[in-house]
Homo-oligomer: A and B are copies of this chain.
Amino acid sequence: MELLNTDTLEEAQRKLLEESKDLKLRTEVAELSGALGRICARDVAAGENIPPFSRSTVDGYAVRAEDTYGAGEAGPAFFSVAGSVGIEEQACVRSGPQTAVRVQTGSMIPEGATAVLMSEYAEEYAPGKLAAYRPVSEGENLMQTGEDLRQGDQVLRRGRRLTPADVGILAGLGIPSVEVWSLPAVTVISTGNELAGIDEPLSGGKIRDMNSYVLAADARRMGMQVRRTLRCRDDETEIRSAAAGALADSDIILLSGGSSKGQKDYTKQVFEALSHRVFTHGIALKPGKPTILAYERESRTILAGLPGHPMAAALVFQLLIGAWYRERTGAQKMLPYPAVLTENVSSNQGRETCLLVELLPGGEETGHRYRAVPVRAKSGSLSALSRAVGYVRIPRAREGMRRGEQVWVEVLE
């Protein structure tokens, strides 16, 4: 495979977005109980205030703050108690000068009051008579109308992966369901005569199929649904028929193995036969060079030919399909970790390198960043991927990175 004909990772990412732009991601309505972790498909604004009225955050007395100024243990401020507002009650009393209203945590603050004095610092020394032993400042111990969220505030942005707090906010606003991106449907096909199923005895030159498991799990973790996983022999007809059969119900077909330029590498022929348009054949990326991308316009299906080595396949899935999915849904990547590289690493100039690393705690000597320890591994090695927390991208123009260099470690997600 000629380097001259390969794409950079950025080129491949851009082509994938451009070529598949008519692949329409569907949306669906998720009930709150099933919304956690789903990706929001549309901005959501608050239709109500949270809280809907000023509420006390303690048990105590609603007062005008200025009437307490100067109050202390020795010289309390005095109030007359005008009544009570229980929780869930409409506040019907008013708080005026030197007038206190009994409130509970969550009670509506009566009109006129600007703060709440905690019970601990107050004493009803006679019926209807209150002494305040502490001053309170305006707004103290209460939550103003709309202080958490104001009507019209943007609550969720498109692309937001819903957290427990988001679900709680929607509940607080009386929004029982939310529009989220439907899970894209993925078919995973592993190819190779050498592949044995998980329950077959190994014999001769057979190894077990790992890719269909890794890629299916990767797709699930990214928030996709796996329609099926298949295993094919290195047979063009068999592979084509498997891929063709998946077009109708899959947004993405991941075909691993057979993407190099060897005798038995049929991915390119199959993709050309199915789509008439292979737009990327080879990426200047290590690991991950033998990657083939095509798009079938009729069924609107992305065809991704991934390396046969499972670690490389998983990384390319993250870097290409993951980037595509985030761009299309607006979802954010997890924040990378700042770290200091613990050893020199070399890389091929002209090819971007994805260096797997573990993260170890670093102290003063790393400026309170992590130590990024490269996980040495050939591209077939899944145990390296399993050990790694993430990866460092070494740019194409570099020949490597030095021990002690500052790096950002992208999280494997």
Contact = CB atoms under 8 A, between A and B. Distances in A.
Nearest to A318: B164
A53 interface: yes
Interface string A103-134: 01111100000000000000000000000000
Nearest to A166: B386
Interface string A370-399: 100000011111111110010000000000
A171 B198 contact: yes
Contacts of A202: 48, 52, 174
Secondary structure at the A interface, as helix, strand, loop or mixed, is loop
Contacts of A352: none
Most chain B Cβ neighbours within 10 Å, of A50, A221, A412: A50
A52 B207 contact: yes
A19 interface: no
A284 to B, nearest CB: 16
Contacts of A310: 168, 172
A381 B209 contact: no
14 contacts: A36-B217, A52-B206, A52-B207, A87-B205, A91-B205, A107-B205, A143-B380, A148-B383, A164-B314, A168-B211, A172-B382, A174-B202, A337-B337, A367-B368
Interface of A: 32-33, 36-37, 48, 50-53, 55, 57, 59, 85-91, 104-108, 143, 147-149, 153, 155, 163-176, 192-194, 198-199, 202-218, 220-221, 234, 260, 262-264, 308-311, 314, 335, 337-338, 359, 367-370, 377-386, 389, 406, 412
The 10 closest A-B pairs by CB, nearest first: A168-B214, A164-B217, A171-B213, A165-B386, A165-B385, A367-B367, A87-B194, A172-B210, A90-B204, A88-B194
